[in-house]
Structure 1
Amino acid sequence: MITVPQENAKLGIAVEDFDPLQVSPEQLTELKQLVYQHRIVVLRNQTLSSAEFVAFGRRLGEVETYYQPMYHHAEHKEIFVSSNVKKDGEQVGVPQTGKFWHHDYSFMPRPFGLTLIYPQVVPQKNRGTFFIDMAKAHADLTDELKAEAADTRVLNSVRRYFKIRPTDVYRPITDIMAEVERETPAVAHPTVFNHPVTGETLLYLSEAVSYQIETADGRPARAGLLEDLLEACGQADTTFEHENIHLQTFDKGDLLVWDNRALVHRALHTPNPEPTVSHRVTVHDEHPFYPGIGAE
């Protein structure tokens, strides 16, 4: 395994000469430590089949299958498919995913630690994913905002950006919303917690699913606190020029592994999107997502 710094990049490191299915358990542990340290690891020159991609995920930990079948790979439901390319005239996976800042699965009671993305069809011009390191974002907050965010919890829900499914056509919107609340009720996570591996203090909220901050005793926090935190960390910047924002690009054969605790991300979308297909596998590592999760 050879590590290669990414020039002029705020985040991430590239790794060459890495065989995901043949490396030793010790090298897998080393890979995860690189992810926790650098946030993003780009494994270069990968040629994995879909089955091998899933197998690699299982070598890293417990693979989480997405709860909605319309995102599933036809042969391997563990793979989440983001695609605007049709196969035999039929939609495969879901197009235009990830258009808003988010942590994967933060709307679930048990989020996962590692996200793996393996691009299959790579746009020629506009490609990449935007990231924000939420440890740096917390460190850069004013003392006043740090004090306000401490010992609070953030409520998360998919209700704001739930994607209408083909099976929802002609259904009353009230029925759809009732199903959303029943299947994915709002969950609370700490607004601030310490990374279980690095010990860094992380800000944990996102534009896509966070809708309210509460104090430790369940009272609403100051009106506008959520918006102030989103603006401070860079998620409110529609120009993507905020100093916290990193654009991670990729080429065919790259496989990205990132720290889903420490990073929020959003896809790079353009008004006239090029053909693009990405496969995603998500993994619970051996650490609790945050200290004390599930204790309540």
Structure 2
Amino acid sequence: MSRLSPVMAIHPSYRSVSMQLNLTPLTPAFGAEVQGLNLSQPQSDDTMATLKAALNEHSILVLRDQPLSAQRHVELSKTFGPLMIHVLKQFLTTDHPEIYVLSNVAENGKPIGNHKEGWNWHSDLSYVEEPSMGSLLHAIEVPPEGGDTLFASMHAAFEALPKAIKDKIRSLKAVHSYTGYYEKAFADREPLSAEQRAKTPDVVHPLVRIHPETHRPSLYVGQDIVKEIVGLPAEESRSLIDELNRHAISDAFVYRHKWQAHDLVIWDNRCTMHCATPYDDQRYRRVMHRTTVEGDRPFGA
């Protein structure tokens, strides 16, 4: 497979830095595997600048065999920017509060992480005023089967829309609601506390988001998180949200990541969505550590 992805061809300004890394495209539309780079050890400023440029170009980077300690995971993540602390503090169970644990494992009768989190298509923390720039997910323990993560390119999804729909949605805005998502996804759990609700009020973001570094447009949608489109009648709003979500996760725009222990996946939340998939959680353990990098308020065209 050629190391020159279609995205690189569109954006030649990134070619010089990206070619310094050993990159293999994951799909024709987006994503790259980085080989020969050991991020468990500190890297030079030039190497990290190259990695960040590659993330802008490819939206998702996969690095295999990265045995990161929790401390190193946090240190590495901070090179991308300040880190966010998740509102569900009961799942910040390591010595580093920046690490949000995703797991089905319980210790001393208490879960060490959030289980069945992210089993819908979403972009991390789209429900806050300044959503995450990116996330770094490190696999500690993975099941031998199942538990894949799906990623979708919102750049490619937007570019493939008919012109009439592009023109219709460019100026529209949508309400993102964590409370609405939580009530659907975790109806069997304790409801959010008053403090958690206060920290996650509904927010409004553009339906078409412009990437602040590459200036490429992308869809900014999500399942369950997006509550309504501002200014549209309820039925039309729901129909359009459903239509855009279905389009956004078409096979042509999706990469399926099959996890191995010590995988590190870095993705850009400004131009991708992702979705966890089930596994046999009665037979197998799964422990994943995620850090989340601060971002800016989304803006449209």
* Equivalent in the alignment of 1:213: 229
Change (3 A) 1:70 1:16: same
Deviation at 1:157? 0.4
Range with bigger deviation, 222-231 or 103-112: 222-231
Where in structure 2 are the equivalents of 1:32-47 lying within 5 Å? 32-47=52-67
1:22 aligns with 2:42: yes
Change (3 A) 1:248 1:156: same
Change (3 A) 1:167 1:126: closer
SS of 1:141's equivalent?
coil
Deviation at 1:289? 4.9
Give the superposed CA RMSD.
2.6
1:67 aligns with 2:87: yes
Q: Distance in 2 between matches of 1:111 and 1:264?
A: 13
What count of residue pairs does the alignment treat as equivalent?
A: 275
Larger helix proportion of the pair: 2
Q: Is the 8 A contact 1:3 1:13 kept in 2?
A: no
2:262 to 253, 258, 269: 253
Q: Distance in 1 between matches of 2:261 and 2:147?
A: 11
Q: Is the 8 A contact 2:129 2:297 kept in 1?
A: no
Deviation at 1:12? 1.9
Change (3 A) 1:107 1:254: same
* Equivalent in the alignment of 2:4: none
Q: TM-score by structure 1 length?
A: 0.83
1:230 to 245, 252, 260: 245
Change (3 A) 1:86 1:198: same
Q: Is the 8 A contact 1:129 1:248 kept in 2?
A: yes
Deviation at 1:284? 2.5
Deviation at 1:258? 0.6
Q: Distance in 2 between matches of 1:154 and 1:6?
A: 32
Aligned identity (percent) is 27
1:184 to 194, 197, 200: 200
SS of 2:106's equivalent?
coil
Gaps of 5+ in 2: 1-19
Deviation track 1:189-210 (CA, whole Å, cap 9, x = no partner) reads: 1111211112211110101300
SS of 2:252's equivalent?
coil
